Amino acid sequence: MLNEYLGFLDKVNKRLRAEDIAALLPKLDLAKRADFEGDKNSPSKKIEKLEKEVKRLQKDLKLKSVTIRFDEEHNLWEVLFVNSQGAEHVINCELALSPECRQPKRQVQAD
């Protein structure tokens, strides 16, 4: 199980380029589309928590910015961060529902 979890972290880390942030997804249980839904003026509690947790890591990871935005095309919230090199990364529903993210959640719940 540990190897599968580390494999998940590696795959998600390749997309986010930040292992500490990748580890937040299963920890905060961002597993459903509904976790990213909200109206245009108010994000879900889980998105607010994710933004807060990423901001908590901002100084240590030398992130240039951490923001949330509403994707009007899909009616979903997402968290964006800009790493120390200026590259933007998005934590969104697509990432959270990807097989890489879903597998360790099932493992953790099964134990």
- 108 contacts 26 by C-beta, under 8 angstroms: yes
Say what the pTM is: 0.78
Backbone angles phi, psi at 13, to 5 degrees: -60, -35
| pLDDT of res. 38 | 87
Distance CA 78, CA 33 (A): 11
The contacts of residue 37 (CB under 8 Å, 6+ apart) are 44, 75, 76, 77
| pLDDT averaged per 10 residues, the chain (length 111) | 59 66 84 90 93 95 95 93 92 84 49 41
pLDDT of residue 26: 82
